[in-house]
Amino acid sequence: MLELLRLIQDGSFHSGETLGKQLGISRAAVWKQIEQLELQHQVAIHRVRGRGYRLAEPLLLLDCERIDGSALQLESVIVKDVLDSTNAESLRLVASGLAAPFIVLAEQQLAGRGRRGREWVSPCAENIYYSLVLRLDQGARMLEGLSLVVGLAALRVLREAGVERAGLKWPNDILVGNQKIAGILLELIGDPTDICHVVIGIGINVNMRAESNAIDRPWTSVLLSTGSRQDRNHLVSRLNCFLADYLSKQNGLGFAALLDEWEREHLWQGRQVVLSAGGEPVHGQVLGIHADGALRLLVKGCEQRYSGGELSLRLHDDS
């Protein structure tokens, strides 16, 4: 069905007859696919008698031929129309023996995931749903502060795209003010004390602007922040470059070498926060980040450190 979307992505009118010939189907079958695109993928399409079909707004779909993976020395760039999630597909590909490093992208996710099991809303052909798979021969050493390092790379992409107010929130989010624009989800495969693989999942809201009842927290996108639609192929290529740069620094010098930069970009540095992990909430002031990526809080006059994927941080005055 997304093959039809590729044919009409330019935003011009295309007749049902021409589309049918290109796809090898009848005009009636084209009409049915148009209807499915609208209903299943929430793609807005205009119909005009005598002229045909056109998108309400042009799209530029992902194209592996236009994505530069050289900085990461990728073995494969995999683009799928629809997946449950790019992380889930990456896990399957590692299990099948596909050589790393590789990236998996999707136009749409049906079961996109964020941290703590939250849904990551993934409309068709609007955002970046990206997973990078790396083989770690040094085991867990490179995992220290990894999600924070990835956050720096994603932040640079957003800043370069014109989202000047974007900043980091420990441990895995990028915000514009109090609105989420990107998130990171890491998943480990294998023995962390030996050779293993890590899947680095990154979701970036790029051209999304429609309201979604499925998103239960404030959000924004590059389009909403800058007023300009973005070429996602270009953004993915730049993400590859920034990831290669930051991962190289971490691999050579450790996260400690990036600590000061990360704290400068932390929107909640020095703020009063509430940390939750399923038990009694912890109230404190953000002092910064430890060299291993742990959060440093001033709690009742004493410094405490917290780390772990199930922790949730919010501002003290955030109702």
Q: What is the DSSP string of 63-109?
A: -GGG---GGGT-SEEEEEEEES-HHHHHHHHHHHTPPSSEEEEEEEE
User: Of the candidates 235, 243, 242, 227, which has an alpha carbon nearest to the alpha carbon of residue 60?
Assistant: 235
What's the Cα-to-Cα distance from 149 to each of 170, 186, 209, 248, 265, rounded to whole Å? 11, 12, 28, 10, 12
Residue 139 is labelled as binding a ligand? no
Question: Residue 87 annotated as binding?
Answer: yes
Q: Which strands, in side-by-side order, build the sheet including 102-109? A: 76-83, 102-109, 128-136, 196-204, 179-190, 173-176, 166-169
Please give the pLDDT value at position 94. 96
Tell me if 113 is assigned to a ligand binding site.
Answer: yes
Q: Tell me the CATH architecture of domain 269-315.
A: Roll (2.30)
Residue 114 annotated as lining a ligand binding site:
yes
Residue 77 in contact with residue 68, Cβ under 8 Å?
Answer: no
Residues 62-82 as b or e (16 or more Cβ within 10 Å = b): beeebbebebbebeebbbbbe
pLDDT score recorded for residue 83: 94
pLDDT (tens, 9 = 90+) of the chain, 319 residues, equals 678 998 999 999 999 999 999 999 999 999 999 998 888 777 889 999 999 999 988 888 999 999 999 999 999 999 999 999 999 999 999 999 999 999 999 999 988 665 545 656 778 899 999 999 999 887 666 788 999 999 999 999 999 999 999 999 999 999 999 999 999 999 999 888 888 999 999 999 999 986 655 566 789 999 999 999 999 999 999 999 999 999 999 988 889 999 999 999 999 999 999 998 777 899 999 999 999 999 999 999 999 999 876 788 999 876 4
Phi and psi (nearest 5°) for 194?
-140, -140
pTM of the entire predicted model: 0.90
DSSP 3-state of 316? coil
Tokens 């010939």 appear where? Answer: 21
Judge whether 313 and 285 are in contact, CB under 8 Å.
Answer: no
Beta strand spans in 205-242 (E): none
109 is in an annotated binding site: yes
Backbone φ, ψ for residue 86 (5° rounding): -65, -35
> What pLDDT is stored for residue 319 in this prediction?
40
Q: Is 115 annotated as contributing to ligand binding? A: yes
Fold classification of 2-55 (topology level): Arc Repressor Mutant, subunit A (1.10.10)
Cα–Cα dist 136/195, whole Å:
6
pLDDT at 30: 95
Domain 64-262 has CATH 3.30.930.10: yes
**Which residues are known to be catalytic?**
115, 180, 314
Query: Is the CB of residue 317 less than 8 Å from the CB of residue 272?
Result: yes
Sequence spans of domains, the chain: 2-55, 64-262, 269-315
Task: Please report where in the chains the tokens 């999942």 appear, as a residue.
Answer: 201
Torsion of CA 159, 162, 165, 170, to 10 degrees: -30
